[in-house]
Amino acid sequence: MKVDLLLYNGTILTMDERSAVGNWVAAHGGKIIAVGSGGGWKEYLGSSREAVDLKGKTVLPGFYDSHVNLVQTGLNYLGLNLSDAACMDDLFAGVRHRASQLPAGQLIRGIAFDELKLREKRMPTRYELDEYAPNHPVWISRVDYHTSIVNTLALHLLNLPFNLEGIGRDERGLPNGQLTGRASAVVRSYFLGKVSDSERHEGVHKALIQAVENGITSMNAMEGGFTFHDRHAEFILENKELFPIDVTLFYQSVNVEKVISKGLPRIGGTIFLDGSFGSRTAALAEPYTDKPETNGSLYFSQEELNSFILEAHQRHLQIALHAIGSRAIEQALNAYEYAQAAVPRMDHRHRIEHFELPSEQHISRAKALGVILSVQPSYEFYWGGQGKMYETRLGSVRSARTNPLKKYCSAGITVAGGSDSDLTPMKPMLGIHSAVNHPTPEYALNVPEALRLFTINGARAVFEENLKGSIETGKTADLVILEDNPLAVDPSCIKDISVAATVKEGTLLFMK
């Protein structure tokens, strides 16, 4: 029998309901036609268009990344990357260098800035940025997208209302260039609206190459809305059939009619109910440890949210909401309960993105509702644990309670894994590593649980479990080949396992 692709002499972790393990898999016409153990592969060897001796390597279903800001990730490949800045002088040198490369008046867009990495542990002011780029508008986005820093020229272009929420001020009451909340959203909308589609094409192309090289064959793209730009969503809609991997769009809008008119079965993604821990805008029950005058913000009233959720729920859309702090999680669950009580729906698979600081009751209510939790384990790798950002913002007690992944899985909740790229990299192996090596040991997952986050659970999170997410006959032949078996290596080394090849619908997209 002819086949397009045969992989043999390896370890095939199928991720099916039986957790079956094989040593070969064959694909034809974009589908898996056989998978097994033993010598059954030999009957396909002579008739295979492409046969790969795995030489002991491990094959998994192609990875899902269940939360990617795809267009933003792509654009950030084109921006001034400030992730390695260790002090103010590093930041200023980067701005000055970029200004020397651009014609006067062209925007300098800084990305991935994190003031907690700086020796000074603070953000620059607009006056400081003016000194190094007096003839260019400067917009710097904090790594979490929830804070923007601009210089005076950019501030003049924006013409923000004086009393707009989120404008930071100096001792004279004048804007200091540091913007959060709605003010930051206005900044982002303004400057992202100036981006050309050619820039989007260039950036997204780079981002998808990175995704493929990290074993991703399916992703959920969170595009449009409050902190990004609707043109991003439209761009994905217009181009997704041209992409090398499957990109499922979550249109971040509260306009139900608009989303339905585009034939989309889901709405939301990063519809912000609150902000982030890093910008101190996630809505907490108690004040921030390092800024006790605030406990974050809610961006909707409960009545506003209930109205939107009920409308989308009645129209049979799948809904996804961003909720990080406990007050936002409470609000999201309230709204889902309100809609489900009014119009009961089986298997709606509504989602909460992040769900970082829930109570025990929140976890129980999420399970009862059938809500899917879309989590980002790599947050804990970068910001969890002693002396890191979560502890700085939340204190030692609360930071030891963030992202209790084991509790979610033990409760029987479907948990899907993502990166929230480019907050953290599109590297599922890092996400799996982070889930297994959670800094709070009782919240750590075992390796099979962590693998499910980025395979079969990712498929379930978008109603694709009958098509993808496991290696079974009849399913799409989306596969990733790993150099080592994550079930066999020391758990502390999972992140070091490299991707040897990525297969989409039986075709090798990437091979080392």
Q: Which two tokens stand for residue 137?
A: 């508008």
Please report the sign of the dihedral spanned by the C-alpha atoms of residue 362, residue 410, residue 64, residue 468.
Answer: negative
Rounded to whole angstroms, how far apart are CA atoms 286 and 281?
Answer: 12
Q: What is the CATH number of the domain that holds 449?
A: 3.20.20.140
Q: What is the 8-class DSSP label of residue 471?
A: -
From the number of C-beta atoms within 10 Å of its C-beta (0-12, 13-18, 19+), residue 182 rates as middle
Contact 68, 214 (CB under 8 A): no
Q: Are residues 299 and 445 in the same domain?
A: yes
**Whether 144 and 258 share a structural domain:** no
- Taking residue 146's Cβ as centre, other Cβ atoms within 10 Å add up to 26
CA 193 → CA 18, 156, 370, distances in Å? Answer: 49, 17, 37
Residues 362, 358: Cα–Cα separation, whole Å: 6
Who's near 302: CB < 8 A, 6+ residues apart?
331, 334, 335
Residue 42: give its domain's CATH number.
Answer: 2.30.40.10
Asked whether residue 231 is assigned to any structural domain, the reply reads: no
- Number of separate domains in the chain: 3
Is residue 281 located within the same domain as residue 382? Answer: yes
Q: Read off the amino acid at residue 269.
A: G
Q: Say how many CA atoms lie within 13 Å of 476 toward its Cβ.
A: 22
Are 315 and 404 members of one domain? yes
Residues 312 and 429 in one domain: yes
Count Cα atoms within 13 angstroms, Cβ side, for 463.
Answer: 10
Residues 172 and 315 grouped into a single domain? no
Within-domain flag for 498: yes
Residues 39 and 94 in one domain: no
Q: Is 219 a domain residue?
A: no
Same domain, yes or no, for 309 and 448?
yes
Q: Give the pLDDT confidence score for residue 260 in this predicted structure.
A: 98
Please tell me whether residues 8 and 78 are part of one structural domain: no
Is 409 inside any structural domain?
Answer: yes
Each residue's pLDDT tens digit in the chain (512 positions)?
A: 889 999 999 999 999 999 999 999 999 999 999 999 999 999 999 899 999 999 999 999 999 999 999 999 999 999 999 999 999 999 999 999 999 999 999 999 999 999 999 999 999 999 999 999 999 999 999 998 889 999 999 999 999 998 999 999 999 999 999 999 889 989 998 999 899 999 999 999 999 999 999 999 999 999 998 778 899 999 999 999 999 999 999 999 999 999 999 999 999 998 999 999 999 999 999 999 999 999 999 999 999 999 999 999 999 999 999 999 999 999 999 999 999 999 999 999 999 999 999 999 999 999 999 999 999 999 999 999 999 999 999 999 999 999 999 999 999 999 999 999 989 999 999 999 999 999 999 999 999 999 999 999 999 999 999 999 999 999 999 999 999 999 999 999 999 999 999 999 999 999 99
Does the residue 212 lie in any domain?
no
Query: What is the per-residue pLDDT for 1?
Result: 80
**Which residue's entry shows tokens 């090398």?**
244
Omega before 422 within 30 of 0, i.e. cis: yes
Phi, psi at residue 509, to the nearest 5°? Answer: -90, -30
Q: Are 115 and 146 contained in the same domain?
A: yes
- Considering the domain architecture, whether residues 423 and 356 belong to the same structural domain is answered as yes
Q: What is the CATH number of the domain that holds 157?
A: 3.10.310.70
Q: Do residues 376 and 335 lie in contact, with contact meaning Cβ atoms separated by under 8 Å?
A: no
Residue 28 Cα distances to 25, 216, 235, angstroms: 10, 20, 32
Tell me, yes or no, whether 410 lies in a domain: yes
Beta bridge partners of 241: none
Q: What are phi and psi of 223, to 5 degrees?
A: -135, 150
> Could you tell me the residue range of the domain that residue 119 belongs to?
73-194
Strands 266-272 and 318-323 come out as parallel
Calpha distance 2→126 (Å, rounded) = 65
Does the model's pTM come out above 0.85?
yes
Phi, psi angles (nearest 5°) of residue 416? -105, 145
What integer pLDDT is reported at residue 228 of this predicted model? 84
Instruction: Give the CA-trace dihedral at 489, 432, 218, 275, to 10 degrees.
Output: -160
Q: Are residues 82 and 190 in the same domain?
A: yes
Residue that terminates a domain, selected from 194, 214, 240: 194
Which pair of structure tokens corresponds to residue 426? Answer: 């599109």
Helix 326-342 and helix 360-369: axis angle, to 10°? 30
Q: What is the pLDDT of residue 15?
A: 98
- Collapse the DSSP code of 21 into the 3-class scheme (helix H, G, I; strand E, B; otherwise coil) and give the result: strand
User: What pLDDT is recorded for position 357?
Assistant: 98
Token pair for 38: 């033993």
pLDDT at position 321: 98
Domain-embedded: residue 215: no
Integer Cα distance of 181 and 254 in angstroms: 18
Strand partners, 58: 11, 482
| Residue 226 included in any domain | no
Q: Tell me, what amino acid is at 444?
A: A
- Domain end among 143, 178, 194: 194
Phi and psi (nearest 5°) for 489? -80, 165
- pLDDT, position 226: 74
